[in-house]
Structure 1
Amino acid sequence: MLNLVWLQTLVALLQHRSFQATADRLGIAQPTVTQHIRKLEEQLQVGLIVRGRTCSQPTPEALMLLPFAKSMLKLNDRAMRAIKGRNLRVGASSNIGIYMLPPYVRSFITAEQSPELDLVIDSNPAIAEKLENAELDVAVMEWWKPLDGFQARSWKREPLVLIVAPTHPFAQLAQVNPEHLAGMELIGGESGTGTGRLLDRYFPDGSATPGVSMQLGSTEAVKQAVKAGLGVSLVLASAVTEEVRAGSLCAIPFSGAGLNKELMIIWRVNPARPEQPPGFVNHLLGAGVRSYALASASHPP
């Protein structure tokens, strides 16, 4: 097992490039810094530092180790904070984190005795990975693959809308239906959000399911492309509130029951208190929200 103290010394040394400066920064003696590095090199059986006249330089092996060392130290810090209840890290997929979650975060952190909260916004797959790796306490996502050791609750059912430029022929429609979209090419946004699965269910005849003409990676990029007349797309209704109000985009709902996405709140189960969700989860849910446990054999939403 790699020693976290030795790794901390290595990371500091790679930052300061001086054994004495590293010792001063860590509050230890310079020979102790040398000892930590030597022990780490002996354990890994590779050289990590090349001493020079003016500064110390990392070897290629040290640079390879650096990101892993930083991740391990961050995870250690996360574990200590979690045990002491000092910090809460909440992750959100981009659309939720940008357009929906900030008011809830603000109301939570302004409440009395609420812990310090960090909000991490990334792609849906990246947030799922961070949650699995214990880099997050809670995640709010557009799609989640059930895993043992985690629980999830439905937070909101958010409608998807078709967005078009004001000059597009569809701009005058009050609603759209499968016939309008059959065979169309849509501008794609962030991958891994489950929109494709919704479309597959909405179009039981697979031959009519819309295709994707571009994969731009974010809703902001999609909105700009639609404004420029490059095509149309599907987004969460909350993601285009300002543009619709300003008249730069038209958001057209779906007919009938509509096309809705179930947004999920997921957290790692605390074995000591398995029935007690983190406080931020309760804050988001309020009262009377349907909940259900997710197991590996369950079907994803």
Structure 2
Amino acid sequence: MRYSLRQLEVFLACAHYQNVSRAAESLNMSQSAASTALKEFEQQFELRLFERTGKRLRLNELGRQLWPRAEELLERARELEQTLAGHRDLGRLKIGATLTIGNYLAAGVMARYMEEQPGARVELEVANTAAIAEGVLNFELDLGLIEGELNHPDLEMIPWRGDELVVFCAPTHPLAGRKRLSDRDLVAATWIARESGSGTRQTFERAMAGLLPHLCIRLELQHTEAIKRAVEAGLGISCLSRVSLTDALKRGALVELPVPQRDFSREFYFALHRQKYRSTGIERWLELCRQVP
């Protein structure tokens, strides 16, 4: 074999950081050692994988084609290493989850996963749909759990479970207790909404088709809990996932507002890179997610 796994690690780190120094630091190598490994890797096959501009490296077309195949090869090598070492755990996972899923569903899955595999390492990144999708596309995340609808040729979107958004207000709000809100009520209300780029905002805008330009959106907040607190304080009404509102609705801290003429249903999805190798750990995580009631 004319190349080493270490050379592949250096190539992938350089692809990720676009800088040899940062790549070397991530691999606990000296800059000169990383530069030599990358140079030898390219020279062995008489090719170039990067365009170099000063200290910045940018993958060329050949490098972009090699990237997912190198990721898969290293993932398989790590699994083999664990087997040879006698470990039975499922290894390290880097999971990305959108805010609703990360705050209300993913923690329970992670607890079950780590209970089964005491030696496993799980990193959970919580961000909006756009950020999670970018992480999966750049191989920074093994798997994304998202609440938005995405179309990208390199992403495989696998339906996970259904969900719905709920319009709600504080118990003291003038709309509390109404049996039904009309479109006129929706336009007259003051809204607190999730930020653009979130799956919740995407579903909200789809459900409000035809009314959106006329809505009074007073605040845009990134965090679900901040929106709930703002609504409780009487700053307006909002629309969030039922998953995130279950406890507050039961306690009576918030009140659901029926809007039957609008469709707030949606799907949660698993987002995977089409060329990402599905390790045993990824497959087990998917199984545990599907078991969530």
Is the pair's TM-score, using the shorter chain for normalization, greater than 0.5?
yes
Deviates more, 1:86-95 or 1:101-110: 101-110
**1:216 aligned residue:** 221
Identity among equivalent pairs (%) = 22
- What is the CA-CA distance between 1:99 and the residue it aligns to? 1.3
**2:153 aligned residue:** 148
State the secondary structure of the residue aligned to 1:182.
helix
Give the counterpart letter for 2:125 in structure 1. Answer: V
**2:85 aligned residue:** none
**2:115 aligned residue:** 110
**1:7 aligned residue:** 21
State the secondary structure of the residue aligned to 1:128.
helix
**2:290 aligned residue:** 285
CA distance change for structure 1 residues 271 and 91 in 2, over 3 Å: closer, same or farther? closer
CA distance change for structure 1 residues 91 and 203 in 2, over 3 Å: closer, same or farther? closer
Question: Normalized against structure 1, the TM-score is what?
Answer: 0.63
**1:299 aligned residue:** none
Provide the C-alpha distance between the structure 2 equivalents of 1:189 and 1:200, rounded to a whole number of angstroms: 11
State the secondary structure of the residue aligned to 1:254.
coil
Deviates more, 1:103-112 or 1:166-175: 103-112
Aligned: 1:166 with 2:171: yes
Provide the C-alpha distance between the structure 1 equivalents of 2:153 and 2:249, rounded to a whole number of angstroms: 41
Contact 2:207–2:262 at 8 Å: present in 1 too? no
State the secondary structure of the residue aligned to 2:175.
helix
Give the counterpart letter for 1:198 in structure 2. Answer: T
**2:78 aligned residue:** 84
Q: In the TM superposition, what are the counterparts of 1:177-188 in structure 2 within 5 Å?
A: 177-188=182-193
Q: List runs of 5+ in structure 2 lacking aligned partners.
A: 1-6, 15-19, 38-53, 57-67, 80-90
Aligned mate of 2:233, from 228, 232, 240: 228
Aligned: 1:95 with 2:100: yes
- What is the CA-CA distance between 1:257 and the residue it aligns to? 7.5
CA distance change for structure 1 residues 210 and 83 in 2, over 3 Å: closer, same or farther? farther
- What is the CA-CA distance between 1:108 and the residue it aligns to? 2.7
State the secondary structure of the residue aligned to 1:170.
coil
**1:246 aligned residue:** 251
Q: How many residues align?
A: 238
Q: List runs of 5+ in structure 1 lacking aligned partners.
A: 13-24, 27-32, 41-61, 66-74, 288-301
Give the counterpart letter for 1:7 in structure 2. Answer: S
Question: Normalized against structure 2, the TM-score is what?
Answer: 0.65
Aligned mate of 1:123, from 107, 116, 128: 128
Provide the C-alpha distance between the structure 1 equivalents of 2:173 and 2:157, rounded to a whole number of angstroms: 39
Q: 1:61-81: per-residue Cα shift (whole Å, max 9, x none)?
A: x9x97xxxxxxxxx9999845
Give the counterpart letter for 2:268 in structure 1. Answer: L
Asked which structure has the greater CA Rg, the reply is: 1
Q: In the TM superposition, what are the counterparts of 1:175-214 in structure 2 within 5 Å?
A: 175-206=180-211, 210-214=215-219
**2:63 aligned residue:** none
Q: 1:226-252: per-residue Cα shift (whole Å, max 9, x none)?
A: 111111111111112222233322233
Provide the C-alpha distance between the structure 2 equivalents of 1:203 and 1:35, rounded to a whole number of angstroms: 56
